[in-house]
Structure 1
């Protein structure tokens, strides 16, 4: 029985990662393939080829992103984006949603943004219990005026789904900056500590 149990768990360790990866990729590709609906019916790959081949939506999405990025990177494109933002900012309700999403996307995806650039070790949810978190910036405005010491904005993700979590303000001195990259820290969180980061190299002893 012990041998059968060992084989069962070994099989799960081999199959489960592959099945989950295939499921996630299938979901992403199927979702992006919906972008093909914006094409005229006689231009859609399913009509041209007479069969459905998954993945054309991914190529179309990448092409759209490249075209929009190229146009928005020049002077005229920036003006158009600015005019579009001004128009949306005049629409009630829509402007609140759009401005919030834009601020988050600008912070996360912008080259000048500081979000998720540093992994830190913090005591959470109480003293003596440690977890890995990410510095997302510094408090400003009214919030900063109430904080006497040097504070940083910290995102504490949940496990194994790091898209949810807690936003807290912590003293910078209470955050231990880690050498590991953000990608390594995310893997560590998602795996619930199973995929441990590599140890730091031991410095050579002086002769």
Structure 2
């Protein structure tokens, strides 16, 4: 099996649609090429401390509420959920307005955490002292998709900068929504300036390599 995985001659098919595992062959060297796609990672912040401090059923409820709300928003903005990994969800956006769609989803997730989930927690568990924190990372680049695993138990691996950087962004310090310059450069004006004020804070981030800039914000997109 390992011998067949290492081959520079791959069957690569271009696509503008996020593939499902069944769109790729499991055995052999078959891949899908998305020449430009946007990846979003939404991640609970401090979930290890939560699990260590609170009852398991409380933590499970937080996971379920956060991931369900995030998933609904992502799908509503045209994103395709590609995986859940513990306390986070990954999604891929394609199309002409993919960066705007992904950032709007990130801002809506931030809004729902503060306006919907946290008030429910405060009402049901007023003495818990629990504050739900989360981060959303968004990057855009070319992506390749390949099918991994074994028959009956397999998934897709996403190869490309955006898949790695979007995840890395969630682990960096800063405001809840973090994006790269590749995403920022494709945003509509209303996502850059609001009521005359610049929405984003920008910094150079060594964790992403020399010269990489991260834009972060606590600006929300309301759903009322």
More strand by share: 2
More helix by share: 1
The answer, yes or no, to whether TM exceeds 0.5 is no
Q: Which has more radius of gyration?
A: 1
Instruction: With the length of structure 1 as denominator, give the TM-score of the two structures.
Output: 0.20
Instruction: With the length of structure 2 as denominator, give the TM-score of the two structures.
Output: 0.19
